[in-house]
Amino acid sequence: MNYELLKKLCETPSVAGREQRIRDFIHNNVKGYFDEIKVDALGSLICKKFSKNKKKKKILLLCHMDEIGFLVSYINPKGYVFVDPVGGFDPRNLFSRRVLVCTEKEDLKAVMNPQGKPVHTQSAMDRKKIPEPNEFFIDTGLGEKANDKIQIGDYVVMDEPFLELPKKIVSKALDNRIACWLGMEIARYVSENKIELDNDLIIVFTSQEEVGLRGAKTASFDVEPDIAIGIDTTLACDTPGVPEQDWITTHGKGFGLHIKDSSFISDHELVSKFAKLAEKNKIPYQRTILSRGGQDGAAGQQAGSGAKAIAIVVGTRYIHTVTEMVDKSDLENALKILKKFLED
Question: Measuring CA to CA, how many Å separate 60 from each of 15, 46, 168, 223, 338?
Answer: 23, 10, 28, 8, 12
19 binds Zn ion (CB under 5 A): no
Site map 212..231 versus Zn ion, x via CB under 5 A: --------------------
Amino acid at 171: S
Q: How many residues bind Zn ion (CB under 5 A)?
A: 3
Q: Which stretch binds Zn ion (CB under 5 A): 173-181, 254-262, 299-307, 328-336?
A: 173-181
What are 109's strand-pairing partners?
A: 100
Distance of closest approach, residue 179 Cβ to Zn ion, in angstroms: 7
Computed on alpha carbons and rounded to an integer, the radius of gyration of the chain in Å comes to 21
176 binds Zn ion (CB under 5 A): yes
Of the pair 101, 158, the CB lying nearest Zn ion is at 158
DSSP helix/strand/coil, 223? helix
Report the 3 state secondary structure along 86-141.
ECCCCHHHCCCEEEEEECCCCEEEEEEEECCCCHHHCCHHHHHCCCCHHHEEEECC
263 binds Zn ion (CB under 5 A): no
14 binds Zn ion (CB under 5 A): no
Of the pair 75, 179, the CB lying nearest Zn ion is at 179
**Cβ-proximal residue to Zn ion, closest one:** 176
66 binds Zn ion (CB under 5 A): no
Contact at 8 Å (CB) between 285 and 275?
yes
Number of residues that this document lists for the chain = 344
Q: Which stretch binds Zn ion (CB under 5 A): 45-53, 115-123, 174-182, 246-254?
A: 174-182
Of the pair 87, 225, the CB lying nearest Zn ion is at 87
Q: How far apart are the first and last CA of the chain?
A: 23
232 binds Zn ion (CB under 5 A): yes
Q: Which stretch binds Zn ion (CB under 5 A): 146-154, 157-165, 171-179, 278-286?
A: 171-179
Query: Catalytic: which of 67, 185, 209, 324?
Result: 209
Q: Around Cβ 56, how many Cβ atoms within 10 Å?
A: 15
Q: Is 77 exposed, middle or buried (0-12, 13-18, 19+ CB in 10 A)?
A: exposed
Give the DSSP H or E segment for 235: strand 227-235
Whether the bond between 333 and the residue before it is cis, its omega within 30 degrees of 0, is: no
Distance of closest approach, residue 292 Cβ to Zn ion, in angstroms: 14
Whether residue 209 lies in the annotated active site: yes
DSSP helix/strand/coil, 171? strand
Distance of closest approach, residue 209 Cβ to Zn ion, in angstroms: 6
Among 66, 159, 160, 175, binds Zn ion (CB under 5 A): 175
Active site residues: 209
Which residues here bind Zn ion, judged by CB under 5 A?
175-176, 232
